[in-house]
Amino acid sequence: MKQSTNVAVCGAGGTMGAGIAIVSARSGHRTICYDTSASGLERARGQIEKFFAKSVSLGKLTAEQQARALDGLTMTTSLDDLGACELVIEAVFENLEVKKQLFGKLDSVCAETAVFASNTSTLSITEIAAGSARPDRVVGMHFCLPAQLMALVEMTPGLRTDAAVFDAAWNWVTAAGQVPVRTQDKPGFILNALLVPFNNDAIRAVEAGVASPADIDRAIKTALGNKLGPLELVDLVGLDTQVRLCDAFYANTYDPRAAAPPLLKRMVAAGLLGRKSGRGFFAYSGQAMFGA
Amino acid sequence: MIAMTCRIHTGADGAAHWLDSPHFDGQGTIDVHALGSPVVPHPESVAVLVELDHRMLAALAGDPWAAEAENILGFTRYANGTDAPSRLVELVRARATGDSAVAAARALFEAAGYQVVVCADQPGRIVDRLIRPVYNAALRLVDEGLATQADLDLTCRLGLGYVDGPVERVERGGLAHHYDVTAALFETFGTPGFAPAARSVAAAQRRAART
């Protein structure tokens, strides 16, 4: 891929997609944000503009770089506008069929030389690539949330990914200032393979009466030096999202640690979704703890 | 306020030296049984604290006494094997332990500058119960070629904000020690997450061959 590339981010109306668009635009690429939701795109545009303005005020970006990044940024709800893109990164809903269908449609829109990247965190790159008639052009490119701040990108070839395509995608990530690590195409790659079961174990420890959520998080933070405890992290990610991660991960691995714990399901049923609902394992309107 | 008296009973191991004559307010006596000292009841004490290794309080203090006494607690200063000990004290509450004994024990350790958490008398307490399966998984994933050890540790540092990666941490604490902890947990719970990873089994076998 050329140094300055036409890049599309699909699902840019979501938090992750907007972050990836920032990474792309910030590194000088003409970036098309695609989403089926016009309001989602409008919200993303506002978030991106605010982020760049803050970057300038903090001295992390010059005003010229900000202007160039924003000039090269376009929003669209039409997939046909992605025809000139050399790289398409999808960050749509974490559903295999949705992702397969998207790449299938992109086959008829993009040039045969285009690279298709998936930001999936749990699904198989090989299975996603099967939705395209060009599975050799599909790679895994999993950014961490928030993508605009986290350097790490898990890079994964599928079983049929062309080595030159993988190298081109790797080089693009590196040139964008990110830090790629190579993983095999296995469920959860590295991050979620370790994190989803760990968070579940913490939830099961609450359920088993080992300790209160506050003491579990304090123990992990003090003993290991982690910034967040596992239950604070689940609250941040969203308990409903944790269930979806578990369902995707367990269906592929049958690892009992990956199965959604009963307490997690009960809390989701009760509307205790974490920070976004004001209460999960911890209450966010006050200091009260849940489940102690 | 009258200063609370703390009696430290040392054993052959001479442990609990890290709990150095703390000063805190309160009334009465706390008896601290360092690891290796014979544990005996002190019915007159506000709290009887039994230092634990990886075993449960019930194993060291005996049942049914430990189950019935209102003043007994277990404690351990968490360390990752031979790694430098942390500032965390896991305080183990038995079934009958009263709130006043917990409060006195908490005050003792906090006065000495430690972070205190309270947990049930279950194998692995909090930290080992949660982190040992992560180490097992990390060791297995590297063995299976998911990623290199360096990349797996880097991913955890950059992607999760960890101070260090799981493989470098378990190696630093000792793979044979990891085997000891996980074998005990696996014996109790029987769940695959606690089954010692192959590298730790090999490390324990090497240790056995040396001795």
Q: Would you tell me which residues 78-107 of chain B have a C-beta closer than 8 angstroms to some C-beta of chain A?
A: 78, 80, 86-88, 90
Q: What is the pLDDT of residue B5?
A: 83
Give chain A positions within 8 Å (CB) of B133: 197-198, 201, 257
Cα gap A194→A201, rounded to integer Å: 11
Instruction: Please name which of A123, A119, A25 lies closest in space to residue A72, comparing C-alpha atoms.
Output: A25
Q: What percent of chain B has pLDDT over 70?
A: 89
Residue of A nearest to B121 (CA): A210
Cα gap A51→A207, rounded to integer Å: 40
Residue of B nearest to A231 (CA): B130
pTM for this prediction: 0.89
pLDDT band at A291 (very low <50, low <70, confident <90, very high): very low
Within 10 angstroms of residue A195's Cβ, the number of other Cβ atoms is 23
Residue B24 confidence (pLDDT) above 80: no
Nearest to B147 among A181, A205, A257 (CB): A181
Mean of all residue pLDDT scores within chain A: 94
Nearest Cα of chain B lies from the Cα of A26 at a distance, in angstroms, of: 20
Q: For residue B194, give both structure tokens.
A: 């606690």
Cα gap A119→B143, rounded to integer Å: 25
Q: Is B163 on the interface with A (CB under 8 A)?
A: yes
Our measurement of the distance from residue A71's CA atom to the centroid of its chain's CA atoms, rounded to an integer in Å, reads: 25
Q: What is the mean pLDDT of residues A202-222?
A: 98
pLDDT band at B41 (very low <50, low <70, confident <90, very high): confident
Q: What is the pLDDT of residue A290?
A: 40
Query: Cβ of B130 and A211 within 8 Å?
Result: no
Residue B88 confidence (pLDDT) above 60: yes
Find the range with the poorest average confidence among A64-68, A86-90, A284-288, B49-53: A284-288
Cα gap B43→B107, rounded to integer Å: 20
Nearest Cα of chain B lies from the Cα of A106 at a distance, in angstroms, of: 29
A142 vs B67, residue with greater confidence: A142
Going from N- to C-terminal start, the domains of chain A cover: 6-182, 190-277
Q: What is the pLDDT of residue B129?
A: 98
Give chain B positions within 8 Å (CB) of A181: 147, 151, 154-155
Instruction: Please name which of A119, A112, A77, A70 lies closest in space to residue A98, comparing C-alpha atoms.
Output: A119
Query: Cβ of B78 and A219 within 8 Å?
Result: yes
pLDDT band at B1 (very low <50, low <70, confident <90, very high): very low
B151 vs B84, residue with greater confidence: B151
Residue A231 confidence (pLDDT) above 80: yes
Whether A128 and A163 have beta carbons less than 8 Å apart is answered as: no
Q: What percent of chain A has pLDDT over 90?
A: 88
Nearest to A191 among B126, B133, B155 (CB): B155
Query: Cβ of A210 and B129 within 8 Å?
Result: yes
Helix (H) or strand (E) holding A206: helix A191-207
Nearest Cα of chain B lies from the Cα of A79 at a distance, in angstroms, of: 31
Q: What is the mean pLDDT of residues B141-155?
A: 96
Q: In this structure, are strands A152-157 and A138-143 parallel, antiparallel, or unpaired?
A: antiparallel
Q: What is the pLDDT of residue A292?
A: 30
Residue tagged 């350097």 (tokens): A151
pLDDT band at B54 (very low <50, low <70, confident <90, very high): confident
CATH class of B126-209: mainly alpha
Cα gap B204→B197, rounded to integer Å: 11
Q: Does domain B5-120 have CATH number 3.40.50.720?
A: yes
Q: Which CATH superfamily is domain A6-182 in?
A: NAD(P)-binding Rossmann-like Domain (3.40.50.720)
Nearest to B118 among A181, A205, A215 (CB): A215
Residue of B75, B121, B129, B152 for testing the chain A interface, max A β-carbons within 10 Å: B129
Cα gap B90→B88, rounded to integer Å: 6
Cα gap B163→B153, rounded to integer Å: 10
Q: Which residues of A are catalytic?
A: 121, 142, 154, 192
Cα gap A141→A157, rounded to integer Å: 9
Q: What are phi and psi of B202, to 5 degrees?
A: -65, -40
pLDDT band at B15 (very low <50, low <70, confident <90, very high): low
Residue of A224, A232, A250 for testing the chain B interface, max B β-carbons within 10 Å: A224
Q: What is the pLDDT of residue B4?
A: 74
Q: Which strands, in side-by-side order, build the sheet including B29-33?
A: B5-9, B29-33, B47-51, B72-77, B88-93, B115-120
Find the range with the poorest average confidence among A187-196, A254-263, B31-40, B149-158: B31-40
Nearest Cα of chain B lies from the Cα of A108 at a distance, in angstroms, of: 33
Q: What is the pLDDT of residue A59?
A: 95
Whether A51 and A148 have beta carbons less than 8 Å apart is answered as: yes
Mean of all residue pLDDT scores within chain B: 90
Instruction: Give the DSSP per-residue string, B108-123.
Output: HHHHTT-EEEEEES-T
Query: Cβ of B126 and A181 within 8 Å?
Result: no
Q: Does domain A190-277 have CATH number 1.20.1600.10?
A: no
Going from N- to C-terminal start, the domains of chain B cover: 5-120, 126-209
Nearest Cα of chain A lies from the Cα of B104 at a distance, in angstroms, of: 17
Burial of A90 (0-12, 13-18, 19+ CB in 10 A): buried
Rounded (10°) angle between helices B175-189 and B166-173: 100
Residue B71 confidence (pLDDT) above 90: yes
pLDDT digit string, tens, across residues B171-199: 999 999 999 999 999 999 999 999 999 99
Residue of B99, B109, B126 for testing the chain A interface, max A β-carbons within 10 Å: B126
ipTM: 0.93
DSSP state, residue A30: E
Give chain B positions within 8 Å (CB) of A218: 115, 117
